[in-house]
Structures are given as structure tokens and as C-alpha cells.
Structure 1
Amino acid sequence: MRTFDVPSAPAFWQDPHSFFSSSETAQGGVFASGDGAVSVLGFDALDQLGRNPALDGHPFPAGGMGSPGLDALLRWGLFALTAPEHQPLRRAVAAGFGARRIETLLPLLRRAAVEHCREAARRGQADLVHDVAAPLAGLAFCALVDLEPLQAGALVAAVEEIGRQLSPDSAPDGTEAAGQQAEAVLEMLRALEAAGASPLMRDIAERLPPDTPARPADLVAALVLDSIETMTAGLACALDCLLRQSGVAEAVAADRYGWPLAVQEAFRLTSPVLLTARMAQADIAWQDDIIRRGTTVMLWWPSGNVDPRRFERPFTFEPLRPQARHLAFGTGSHSCLGRQLAAMLAEELAAALLPKEGQRAIRIGETVFLQRFARLPREAPIRFA
């Protein structure tokens, strides 16, 4: 098995796609990556292995986060659960995050997108992450679980603090603050469940396995980090991409393609989720290689989204390309449940930032990315003209 060194250079966080060359994704796509781990590169390997049921969640070690609050928050994360817990609990959560419930949020999110963009235009400039993407992601999550909209800011702040602690460049002295934020999130959602005020949690409760110790609030709390940070990354990355495309608003206005196709192509090009770590629960034969049981498997989604064997002109923005399916939010049984909500909100924000008439947002300066596996910009300034 050939080797792939996990990128450590600062340049990787700014432009991860250049680290996944076509030569690396050839010949099977499975690489040894040190410490017994395996990396998967290229569309076909990612798509097929990502759907393999033997490639399951990667559990956090008990007490491994250094904080009881963080351990409690992450204990029921769907991305970390393994069989036999994972599938029954994912089905329960999926019942709460159903397409019909998400679609009912459209009028609220459309108004919110217009209002946020109108306020930013009134000021003349704003930050795409902090003034647009993050507030809307927090509001969308609150609407989904029936929290008061005023609590969105607290959730976004908590996710930022926790995310800093979980990032590769985290500082040890941030554990206590992140743990306190995790405990506050858990307390908020447990109070919501106790009050019986969340239809989403009631739907989850009805479908929980009878023998599980997990409660709806535990499962929803574990989704807060994944949902808000990943959604913020997806919105910021997609909108940053769309604002840099000349003529995209005119093409949508002329019905050459719509915002849904433009947003999905922007997701493909930007790959908001860089990496998912899973664990082999059994030996997996892959071409001439064997991935042994217990191996950590790192799925590098950007390498599949710009794989030239799957996408012609992979770095070109082409919403009408025939091979449209991408891996921006993973694939298989651990893929992101919130992709529909992220896409819907991105479409509304794109229409508000790039209207047919009136002021439009313009990207200015460079987009600076944090060292996060959700590809989250630190800043992305915009102005209106």
C-alpha cells in the first residue's frame, strides 16, 4: 500500500484541493497514512468505501476530551456511533429532521435571509461568515428544534468556542471554556425536552429504541456542533464561490440554470467538509489491499470532488455539468443529515445577495480559512454595489 502524508502545511487549509493531485487518486485510492491509519482519495474509492457498512463511526475515547461537558455533548454524535447503536438512533433522528419539516422553514428562512442581507447592504459592507452565514445557521437550527430565535446567538457562540477546542491547533487552556459551553448547550436542550415544547424531539422520542439510554436532547445536542458549524462552513464556502463567478446572477435570471444547480456546483468546488474519520469494524477487501479491522480510515472528500476521472475540467464552475453528484457532505450511513437545510438556506442567501435588481454583494480581499475539518473561513469581507 502506498503512503499519503496527512497535510500539515498552513497552505493546506487555504487550498486543500492542490494537495490531492490526480496521481495520488490513481491506482485504487487507498493509502497508508501513519500510526496505522489509512487515507482514502478519489471519487470512486470514497463513494464505494463510504457506503460500505463495515466502515462505521469512529468513537471518541471515554473521557478523551478532557472535559465532562465536552464528553457528554459528543457521546451521542451520530458521526461517532457504531453498530449496533448507530442505525436505530440515526433513524430516530432522521425522523425529526425529515424533509417535510425542513420545507416548512422556507418562508421564515427566506425572510431572514432577505433581512440580514438588507441590513448588511444598508451598512455598505459586512463579513460573509459572521454577519450572514453563522447567524442564519443558528437561526435555522433554532427554528428546526423550536428554540426561541433569541437563543441563536448563544448557540453560535457556543459552537465557535467548542470548535476552537476541537481544531488541530487547539490550545490546552481552552478546555474549560469549551466544556462550560457544552454544558450550557446540553442544559438548554434538556430544558426544551422537559417542557415538551419541541415537536422534533417528540418525533425522535417516538422512534428511539426502548433499551437506549440516549434521550432526544442528548442526540440533538450532539448535532448542534455538527449542524451549525458545518452549515456555516457550507453557506460561507458556497456563497464565497458564487460571489466570485462572473455572470452567475444573470444566468439564473435568464433561466439558463437555477440557484439549486449553482449552489450544488459551489458545494462541489469548495468541499465544506474536508475530512471524516471512520473505523473499520471488519476486514475490508479493496482491490489489492486489505483494510484491517480496527483501522482508522480518513475520508478526504475534496479529493473526490475535483477528481478529473469523475469531473471534466474539475476546477471550472459548470452548474450544468452532466456528472453533478458530489461528496461535499460525505456519503453512506454517516453522511450529513442537514444537507437539505444547508442547500435550501444557501439558495435563499444567494438570491438575496445577488438579486435580479438592486444592490449586489461583491467579495473583497482574500478568504482566510481556519484550521478546521469543516472548511470554515475566519473572515470573508463583502461590500455592496
Structure 2
Amino acid sequence: MDSETLLARITDYASRPDPYPLYAELREAGPAVRQADGSFLVGGYHDIAALLHDPRMSADPRTRGQLTHKPPFLRLDDPEHHRLRTLAMRPFGPPHSPGRVDAMRGEIDRIIRDLLEPFEAGRRIDIVDDFAYPLPVTVICRLLGVPPEDEPLFRTWSDALVAAADLKPEEDDSAGKHEAGDKARIEMGGYLVDLAEQRRAHPGDDLLSAFVNEPDPALRLTQEELAANTVVLFIAGHETTVNLVANGVLTFLRRPEHLDHLRRDPGLLPRAVEELLRYEPPVHMRERVPLTDIAVGDATLTQGASVILALASGNRDPRRFDDPDRFDPTRPDNEHLGFGNGIHLCYGAPLARIEAQTALGALLPLLGTASLVEDPPPYRQNAMLRGPRHLPIQL
């Protein structure tokens, strides 16, 4: 049956420029569609939201024997997930109040101005390599308190991690890229732990200083937890922002009427970013594992199976959103799944929103007379973290 090959067809690189017709096919096929490899694919908004809130669905890869070591908190279940996420979030300030991330707005403005300085009329630039890619690396380095002279190290590590995530299945050097990615992850974690130890005696106004100088011993991260979770902060914050900014520029240039509207009224940008998170989300899928059999409509997710929640499909579900295939930066009631939902709602969402709003706002004056060099652009190999690998535009 064609429905049993949906996941293979969605993840096929040929579908990367436009997977949305396949998501529509998925929603028509049923609430939970079993694939030829035994996994399940779920594409409806309400089913995905319910499963993301269901404590019987595990995010821990060890439930399927995929890992032997303890993963970072993003891949743990409660109560351990809640404990570590709470500890990791403490330095950001109390929920629902201006905190460390909001205080970064001025620094983010300065970083963006520096990146835009070489962008002159008549130039051809790559929005990914020249702007969307270096922006979050620099922002997260500043947030963690990495000295400016060491920031190039993180560019190198990030290159290795992105290459490992974007492998083609048939690549001859896949083992080498996986090894380089693992090495970069270990080296980054070791560097951050060493830097944090230096901040124990000489604290600054940064996340690492806050982590290691927590006054309550019961609320301190262990060295292993510090390494794992600061690396995850870097990777998650970086991947989300690169795709969000690049997808935003591509969407705006394809729709000049909306671009003109936003240039006349930049106050719409926050809502436009929320619509981008629905319409062209940076994260397309998330994997979960049922701890017991779970009924979804007339289907049953079997215990221990891989369940792929197609967030991007839920974001285009006509049972939840009016005219879902239309980009509408003024859309009301836009409770999308762009950052997931439930207890694993994206840890870096506040930072990604600020970066995207500020970055796209700064680009608006340039985009009015810019044009796409290639459409569709070349996309990343990774189907779960979907976005252009390059986005050349002519200023």
C-alpha cells in the first residue's frame, strides 16, 4: 500500500523542496499510519498535540535500546526531565518575566549589524552561510560567556555537527562524518565544562557562571549534566534559528505582497514569525516511543514502536487552521506546533523568536529590491530539521 511508504517518500531528498502534498496524503490515510518498517506516522494536529502531552509516550531513546548512556534532558522523561530542565532554565530567570534572553536583545542587534555590514547593493550573498548560520553561533557563545577569540572553535564544531546531521545515506564517508560529529560534541562539552570551572572563581554575567555558582548544592548540575545540556542548548538553539531565518527570507521573497506589507508595518513581525513557525517550521518531525499500547482513533500504537509525529503536517491540518496552505502573517489563533508542545516544548524557543524577529526586521529594508538566485534552493539532507542549505540572493 502507498500509505506504508509515506515516511520513506517524505524523507526522500526529492521531496525536500515541498513535502506538504505528502503530509496531506498522510492526514487522509488515517490518524496513525503503520509504515513498512513497523513504525507509525501521525499527521493530524489534534492527535499530535494529545500524544505530546501523553505521559505514556517516551522521548528517551533508551526505551528502544538506541543508547546506553544517559541522554540530555531533552530526550528524558519525567521526573528526571523535569528536574534537569528546571535546573537548566533557572539562570534564564522566572517564567513569564523578562530574563537573561530578553536582556540579550541589544547584543543580538549589534551582532546582526556586524553581519549585515558587508551586504552592499549589487552583491550576491548566501543568506545561510553569510547570515543565518553565523548569527546563532555568535549569540549562543555570548550567552554562555565564551571569549570572542574562542568563538571560531564553535564554528568548527558546528560545521562538524551539521555535516553529521545532514548525511546522505549513500555517502561513502558517512562513518567519518559521524565520527567527526561525535568528536565535536565531546570536545565542545569538555571545553564548556573547563570554561565553567574557570568561572567558579571568576564569575561573569553569563550562563556558565550562573550554572557553576548556584548557591544551593541540591540545584547544581553535575559536570556530566553541565556538558550534555550546554551542548544541547548550543545545537538546539542553532539549528532552529538557522532554518527559521532562512525559511523566512525564502517565504518573504516568494510573496512580495507580504514583504511590502511588513516593510510598511514592521510591527507585524512577531505575528509573521509565528506564521512562519506554522507554515514553514524549522523542525518537521519528532520521534516518540509508546510505553504501552495507545489507541489513536481506530489505530493502535504498539508498545515499543517508533512513532514519528509529523509536526509540519499538523501545522497544515485544515481541521485546525483555516486555509492552512496560505501564508498569512496576520493569522489569528495561531497555536502552531513549530516548537513542539507539552513538557518538551522547545527549550530555546524564546531565544529563537527574538533572533528571528530581530534578524528578519533588519533584513526587511534589503529584501525589497532583492531577488532569489535559485528557487527552489538546495535543501539540507536532514528531513526532520528542514531548511535551505544555501539561499543565494541578489541584492
TM score, norm. by length of structure 1: 0.86
| CA distance in structure 2 between the aligned counterparts of 1:358 and 1:179, rounded to whole angstroms | 38
Task: Specify the code of the residue in structure 2 equivalent to 1:352.
Answer: A
Give runs of aligned pairs for residues 1-385 of structure 1, distance below 5 A.
3=4, 5-6=6-7, 7=9, 8-21=11-24, 23-26=25-28, 29-59=31-61, 75-98=70-93, 100-121=99-120, 124-167=123-166, 169=168, 171-196=174-199, 197=203, 199-204=206-211, 206=214, 214-255=224-265, 258-355=268-365, 360-366=369-375, 367-372=377-382, 373-384=384-395
Shift of residue 13 of structure 1? 1.7
| CA distance in structure 2 between the aligned counterparts of 1:96 and 1:295, rounded to whole angstroms | 37
TM score, norm. by length of structure 2: 0.84
1:30-81 CA-partner distances (Å, limit 9, x unpaired): 121243322110211111211222222132699968xxxxx98xx5333322
Shift of residue 303 of structure 1? 0.4
Shift of residue 129 of structure 1? 0.5
What percent of counterpart residues are identical?
26
Any conservation in 2 of the 1:56–1:83 contact (CA below 8 Å)?
no
Structure that is richer in helix per residue: 2
1:284-320 CA-partner distances (Å, limit 9, x unpaired): 3333333233222111111011112222222222112
- CA distance change for structure 1 residues 96 and 34 in 2, over 3 Å: closer, same or farther? farther
Question: Hey, what does 1:68 align to over in structure 2?
Answer: none
| CA distance in structure 2 between the aligned counterparts of 1:209 and 1:134, rounded to whole angstroms | 34
Shift of residue 168 of structure 1? 5.4
Any conservation in 2 of the 1:260–1:347 contact (CA below 8 Å)?
yes
Shift of residue 227 of structure 1? 2.1
| CA distance in structure 2 between the aligned counterparts of 1:282 and 1:63, rounded to whole angstroms | 16
Shift of residue 321 of structure 1? 1.8
Shift of residue 230 of structure 1? 2.3
- For the aligned residue pairs, the C-alpha RMSD in angstroms reads 3.0
Query: What secondary structure does 1:324 align onto?
Result: coil
| CA distance in structure 1 between the aligned counterparts of 2:299 and 2:65, rounded to whole angstroms | 34
- CA distance change for structure 1 residues 60 and 262 in 2, over 3 Å: closer, same or farther? same
- CA distance change for structure 1 residues 4 and 41 in 2, over 3 Å: closer, same or farther? farther
| CA distance in structure 1 between the aligned counterparts of 2:266 and 2:354, rounded to whole angstroms | 19
Task: Specify the code of the residue in structure 2 equivalent to 1:17.
Answer: Y
Task: Specify the code of the residue in structure 1 equivalent to 2:83.
Answer: P
| CA distance in structure 2 between the aligned counterparts of 1:252 and 1:129, rounded to whole angstroms | 21
